[in-house]
Structure formats: C-alpha cells, structure tokens
Structure 1
Amino acid sequence: MNKQVGALQPALELIPARSGVAARVKRGQSVRVVNTHGKQVVDTWAFSAADIDEHLSMEHSRAAILKLMPAVGDTLVSNRRNPMLTVVDDTTPGIHDMLIAACDEHRYRQLGAHGHHDSCTDNLKAALAALGIAVPLTPSPLNLFMNVPVRADGSLAFEAPVSEPGQHIALRAEMDLIIVFSACPQDMVPVNAMHPTDAHYQIA
C-alpha cells in the first residue's frame, strides 16, 4: 500500500507481513514506523551508507543511554559509538526491546518448526541483497514494539505488544544510512500476538 497521507506528506511504504525492506535515509531525515494493525514487532537495523561495517548496535546503545528501551530524546549509536538514530516521537506506550536477537532458522528449529520458516535474519539478508549489499553477520536489532518485560527476579518473558493500530515511533537519522525493517514472522511465541501482519514506514 503506497497510501498518500495528506497532500504534502510522503507516501507510507509497506513492510509486508513476514518480510523485510531496506531504504536509504539521508542525515536529518525522519523515519516514521507505523504499527498499522497493532501488535506487530518490527525488527530494525541501520548501517552507515559510507561504510557497511558500521551498524546500529544495541549493546553500545544501552551503554550510551543507560536504559533497556529507548524513549523520545534518546540517541542510539553504532558499533563505533557514533550517533545513528534519535527517537523524536513515540505515540505508543513506549515499550520496545533492545535485548533479543533476531529470529533465525536455529531459533525456529528449537521451537519445533519443521522445514522452512520465515525469519528476520533471512529478511535482513534479502532486503539488503535487493540493494546489492551483503553483511557477514546479523547485528542484534532494535525490536520496535516488542514487549519483553524484565521481571523482579531478573528473568525475561515474551508477551504480546501493547501498541495499538496506527501508533508509531519516529527516528531521526544522525548520518546517511541504510535502514532495514522486518515485519517479524514469529508465530510460535506471542511476540506478535501469534498473528504476524503488515506494518508501514515513511521517510520525510
């Protein structure tokens, strides 16, 4: 769906259910990620347009903001500790995840899947391949809208997102970058309320 939002607004671009997309973003541009139907996790990566070896890093970002999830005003950084994305707006309850690795074939096999199962790791590779880019490893993603509560005893849980249809988060690019989104296909734990759906994004 390339749906026009107002006469002067850039189009909303589709992140197909269970699939990934990549786009180039200039420094200073804002990327708005819309949880179109609610309850959908969007795994998010960013890579420097000048050097693909520099990427958005959750471990370095946690050290930079001293938080387990980002909020408006927080700047996430690269594996070289350079600013990459700043949260400039968030209409959700603010629940996102910076801890959990992207799903992959090994994860689904452990969960009991047989044969091929779509994964965020494969979606990252396919989205970058469409731009003629390959990366040797899968960085840990910023899992937008993902609900992984940390309990008092330090344990984690997978729960359905608390975001509602149409809620969004907006991120400002602090360098020229390539951003990648995966509408997470997880349907074996309640990450996406057991029902993966489309999401959308907008670059302005």
Structure 2
Amino acid sequence: MTRMTTKDTEATRIDPCSARSVDLEAGDELVIIDPEGQQVSDLVAFARDDTREYLSSGRSIDYASRLWLTTGDLLYSNRSRPMFEIIEDTCGRHDFTLTPCSKDTFSIIYGETEGRPGCEGNLASALAPYGIGVDQVPIAFNVFMHVAVDAGTGRITVEPPLSKAGDHVRLRALMPMVAAMTACSAGQSNNFRYKPIDFRVERAARENK
C-alpha cells in the first residue's frame, strides 16, 4: 500500500463577472483567494450523490449561533450534514444571508435594463453540466462580502469588502461534492470595481492499494 502525497495545484482564475465549478472529494481543501482586494466570491455546493442536498445558509447560521462565520466553523447542508470546515480565514468577514445577484437584482436595485446574468446566472451556467439549474441555486456563502446590520432597526447595507489583496479562505470538504464560485457581478459587493477571484484545490492524500 502506498500513500500519495498532497500537492498544491496552480491557482485557477475566475474572470470578472463569471463563475467556475469544481469537483471535490472528502478531505480536499478549497482555497478561495482575493488577488486584488475588495472582491466577493459567491460559493455554492451540492452533494455529489444527490444534488438535492446543498450548502445551507440557514442551517449553518443556526448551528453556529452567529451570522458571521470564520475559522473553526462548520458549513452545513440542508440535511444538517457538515459539508465544509473553515480551517483558515485571513479576512474574517463574510456574508451568508443575501442571495446571489441576478438579472432581477440589477433591474430592481440598480435600474439596469440590459439583463446581465449576475452571479445566479453565472453559477447556473457553471453547474449546468451537473444537471443543476438556476432554480436550484441557493443563498451562497458570500466569501469576503461585507454586509452591515443596524442593531436597532435591522436595516442592512452592503459595504466594500474588508479583504485585502491576497486574503484567502481555506475550506476542507467533508463529503464528495460539486462546488461553484463566482467573481461577483454586483457593484455594491465589490465597491463598483469588478475584479477576478482565484481558487486552488489542494487534494487530500489518498491510499492506493
């Protein structure tokens, strides 16, 4: 029996206003990097053996008993199974409450008429090879997104991200899954400077028999 060593792979770039998908095995580590600072990446994930099981904002916040999740927290599926563990976080502020931006977002909030797909549409395109459609895209773990909440009124505002160039989040996959990430298309989320996102998958060591 021989053991393969884990090797770091080259980072993959997600171009501005686009998305990419990736297959993960249990134990793999997904590193999401903000290469230039003040950019958001919407992360969604689905169990590979049944894509009706997905990364759940509500379950994750409920079990952590706080809105802002960071190092040491688990991200749960809608079936209350752990999907990710956050094992490193150099930014410390993300959002798990607001839905991915969409054509309707741009129309209702920004008054746009050209019909850009937004993160919702970009995620659906990246997930299409897995048979996952736009109606299955849930609330994302919005990596680096800075949502402020007024304690008195409950009013929310989307502020520029606190992430600096090179900040990253490292998540360990706890089940086989397909994940998808964006370089966010919404101006409020990235201080109206649409930039790329990088990610890297570090594969867990596996045994060959």
Unaligned runs of 5+ in 1: 1-7
- The reply on whether 1:117 has 2:116 as its aligned counterpart is yes
- CA drift of 1:16 comes to 1.2
- CA drift of 1:147 comes to 0.4
Distance of 2:96 and 2:174 partners within structure 1: 19
- The reply on whether 1:97 has 2:102 as its aligned counterpart is no
- The letter for the 1-side match of 2:19 is G
RMSD, aligned α-carbons: 1.1
Offset from partner CA, 1:70-124 (integer Å, 9 cap, x none): 11110010000000011000111x1100111111111111120012223011011
SS in 1 for 2:156: coil
- CA drift of 1:138 comes to 1.9
- Equivalent residue runs for 1:124-143 within 5 Å: 124-129=123-128, 131-135=129-133, 136-143=135-142
- The letter for the 2-side match of 1:25 is L
- The letter for the 2-side match of 1:174 is L
Aligned length: 193
The answer to whether the 8 Å contact 2:41/2:182 transfers is: yes
- The letter for the 2-side match of 1:177 is M
Q: Percent identity?
A: 29
SS in 2 for 1:128: helix
Distance of 1:141 and 1:162 partners within structure 2: 18
Distance change (3 Å), C-alpha of 1:179 and 1:41: same
The answer to whether the 8 Å contact 2:8/2:201 transfers is: no
- The letter for the 1-side match of 2:123 is L
- The reply on whether 1:198 has 2:196 as its aligned counterpart is yes
Distance of 1:125 and 1:203 partners within structure 2: 21
Q: Which residue of 2 aligns with 1:40?
A: 39
- The letter for the 1-side match of 2:17 is R
Q: Which residue of 2 aligns with 1:148?
A: 147
Larger strand share, 1 or 2: 2
Distance of 1:115 and 1:155 partners within structure 2: 29
Q: Which residue of 1 aligns with 2:207?
A: none
- Equivalent residue runs for 1:168-183 within 5 Å: 168-183=168-183
- CA drift of 1:150 comes to 1.3
Q: Which residue of 1 aligns with 2:73?
A: 74
Distance of 2:197 and 2:120 partners within structure 1: 17
Unaligned runs of 5+ in 2: 1-6, 203-209
Distance of 2:99 and 2:59 partners within structure 1: 15
Q: Which residue of 1 aligns with 2:52?
A: 53
SS in 2 for 1:149: strand
Rg comparison, structure with higher value: 2
